[in-house]
Amino acid sequence: MGEPTALHAEQFEKLTGAKVEVTHTPAGDLYSKAMVPFQAGQAPYDIVFGFSNFINDWKRYLAPVPKSNELT
């Protein structure tokens, strides 16, 4: 997931001027690296990429991404 994520981050920075920090995590650590802060009520990440089998556990902690015309 690392290379595509870094590419998307770079493109987003060019389009928006916003700075993106990509945190690379080994696949075996990805679930717990996100789930532990989720359960603690912390939000260390604005965006999380994971595997589809994580969605059922993560869904209560995620918010929908607004459409571009809803952004302020």
End-to-end CA distance of the chain: 30
pTM, whole model, 2 decimals?
Answer: 0.69
Alpha-helical (H) ranges within the chain are: 2-16, 27-39, 55-58
Q: Tens digit of pLDDT per residue, the chain (72 long)?
A: 668 888 999 999 999 999 999 988 999 999 999 999 999 999 888 888 889 999 999 999 988 888 877 665
Q: What pLDDT, on a 0 to 100 scale, did the predictor assign at position 72?
A: 59
Helix, strand, or coil (residue 29): helix
Q: Residue 41: inside a domain, yes or no?
A: yes
Q: Residue 2: inside a domain, yes or no?
A: no
Q: Which structure tokens are listed for 23? A: 């945190």
Measured distance CA(56)–CA(35) in Å, rounded: 12
- The number of folded domains in the chain is 1
Q: Residue 14: inside a domain, yes or no?
A: no
Q: Which domain holds residue 46?
A: 24-64
